[in-house]
Amino acid sequence: MQRRNVIVVGAGPVGTVAALACARAGLDVLLLEKESRIDDSPRASTTQPPTLEILAQLGLIDEYIRLGLVARTFEFWDRPTLERIAVFDFERLRGETDFPFVVQTEQHKLANMALERLRGMANAQVLLGTPVTQIDQDEEQVTVSAGAEHFLADYVIGADGGRSTVRKALDIEFEGYTWPERFLVVTTRFDFKAALGCCLRNYMADPQEWTNLFKVAGDDLKGRWRAVFNTREDETDEEALSDAAVRARLSRAYVPEASRDYLHVNLYAVHQRVAKSFRKERVFLCGDAAHVNNPIGGLGLNSGIHEAWDLAACLNRVFTDEDGSMLDSYEARRRPLNIKYVQEQTIANKKRLEERDPEQRARRFADLREIADDPRRHKEFLMRAALLERS
């Protein structure tokens, strides 16, 4: 049986980037994906500056920008009064990064782009429709099983998402909690920018029900919007997904009755969880397999891609310089970074949107205005929000 340097489990955006980074470094890579095609449900699109730097190093950036939308600013709004509270401008990060903006490109486009590159590389193999069922390892190697099929590798990267089979096979606890409400994503052609005067990324606070509005390019590059809402805790999935409830939510987001038709609707459970460990001997976790968070702020996938890049570099060092010290520090570096910058910020972002106490709301808005008006604090806020502050 052929033994690979690295097997990556899961061809989501994190697994495909991990596989591509390893393959470009010259490692012999096998990528195993459960499904027969890349999942194109509406999830991540917001890609932060340090992630764009990684995509540039992988040779993907031109296509990535061409298939997405460049968003230089994001805005906070008070939804009930439709007042714009603060505007944050990534231009303030010029000098800190080659990419002082985010790019809104749907995550399935990234996974497909990376897959296409991998298919053209002699040292990479992709097997779709191959659900991994078991991981066994000894001091020498890892055996990855997909039913009756077995594959051998020196190292394995588990990038198989929040319900990770790899994490479960390693018996690693997924510490944290699940929020009682779910998030509803409505995809529509309604042009919120033209109607409300907002930008391409908007966070609208409301004590009853908040809304986030994002524009993405869509597969046809004609442009469409995603409106994200929280559901009520006592609302069933069926209720939230009903046509009447979706149209009512769009009406509360100022969509006129004649424009309330939508293209797609999706409901997500929302968690804040971090794996107790990101490594067991020769097997590593990254992306949603290692941590999940609410999507407000667009950070989860970004941190997963940073881990994939970091891990690929560490693995490469093992094979080229026989230096395993970086592998030892992978978890020590990445786990605290996720807790400090991703878990903490996304929880704070959610609280900012849903705050019910009128005095607290007013204080939070005043704080945002003050930060936006102060050049030093504005930049510091963006450094954290963009995952550029790293320690």
Ligand X SMILES: Cc1cc2nc3c(=O)[nH]c(=O)nc-3n(C[C@H](O)[C@H](O)[C@H](O)COP(=O)(O)OP(=O)(O)OC[C@H]3O[C@@H](n4cnc5c(N)ncnc54)[C@H](O)[C@@H]3O)c2cc1C
> Can you tell me the distance from the alpha carbon of 381 to that of 379, in angstroms, rounded to the nearest whole number?
5
Q: Least Å distance between CB 309 and ligand X?
A: 13
Does 9 sit near ligand X (CB under 6 A)?
yes
From its phi and psi, is residue 387 left (phi > 0), alpha (psi between -120 and 50) or beta? left
Give the one residue of 75, 206, 288, 310 binding ligand X; rule: CB under 6 A: 288
Give the one residue of 160, 181, 206, 209 binding ligand X; rule: CB under 6 A: 160
If the CB atoms of residues 22 and 361 are measured against ligand X, the closer one turns out to be 22
Q: Least Å distance between CB 269 and ligand X?
A: 9
Does 50 sit near ligand X (CB under 6 A)?
no
Does 158 sit near ligand X (CB under 6 A)?
no
Residue 365 has a CB neighbour count (10 Å cut-off) of: 19
Whether the CA torsion 129, 135, 136, 139 is positive or negative: it is: positive
Phi, psi of 49 (to 5 degrees): -50, -45
If the CB atoms of residues 44 and 113 are measured against ligand X, the closer one turns out to be 44
What is the CA 118 to chain-centroid distance, rounded?
Answer: 21
If the CB atoms of residues 119 and 377 are measured against ligand X, the closer one turns out to be 119
> Can you tell me the distance from the alpha carbon of 334 to that of 290, in angstroms, rounded to the nearest whole number?
10
Give the one residue of 27, 32, 198, 227 binding ligand X; rule: CB under 6 A: 32
Give the one residue of 3, 39, 121, 241 binding ligand X; rule: CB under 6 A: 39
Does 44 sit near ligand X (CB under 6 A)?
yes
Q: Least Å distance between CB 187 and ligand X?
A: 11
If the CB atoms of residues 127 and 367 are measured against ligand X, the closer one turns out to be 127
If the CB atoms of residues 129 and 336 are measured against ligand X, the closer one turns out to be 129
Residue 387 has a CB neighbour count (10 Å cut-off) of: 22
Site string for ligand X, 182-221 (x = CB under 6 A): -x-x------------------------------------
Residue keyed to tokens 């906070």: 76
Give the one residue of 15, 49, 68, 100 binding ligand X; rule: CB under 6 A: 15
Site string for ligand X, 103-142 (x = CB under 6 A): ----x-----------------------xx----------
List for the chain the helix, strand, coil content (%; round to 5).
40, 30, 35
> Can you tell me the distance from the alpha carbon of 362 to that of 82, in angstroms, rounded to the nearest whole number?
15
Give the one residue of 26, 35, 221, 363 binding ligand X; rule: CB under 6 A: 35
If we measure between CA atoms, which residue out of 32, 280, 2 comes closest to residue 147? 32
Task: Give the strand pairing for 201-205 and 73-78.
Answer: parallel
Q: Least Å distance between CB 342 and ligand X?
A: 9
Q: Which stretch binds ligand X (CB under 6 A): 62-70, 243-251, 292-300, 367-375?
A: 292-300
DSSP letter, residue 8 = E
Count residues near ligand X (CB under 6 A).
35
Residue 359 has a CB neighbour count (10 Å cut-off) of: 8
Q: Using CB positions, name the residue nearest to ligand X.
A: 12
> Can you tell me the distance from the alpha carbon of 284 to that of 279, in angstroms, rounded to the nearest whole number?
4
If we measure between CA atoms, which residue out of 45, 52, 55 comes closest to residue 24? 55
Give the one residue of 6, 7, 11, 169 binding ligand X; rule: CB under 6 A: 11
Give the one residue of 125, 302, 316, 338 binding ligand X; rule: CB under 6 A: 302
Does 53 sit near ligand X (CB under 6 A)?
no
The DSSP result for 137-192, as a single string, is E-SS-EEEEETTEEEEEEEEEE---TT-HHHHHTT--EEEEEEEEEEEEEEE---H
If the CB atoms of residues 68 and 295 are measured against ligand X, the closer one turns out to be 295
Residues that bind ligand X (CB under 6 A): 9-15, 32-35, 39, 43-46, 107, 131-132, 159-161, 165, 183, 185, 268, 287-288, 295, 298-302, 304
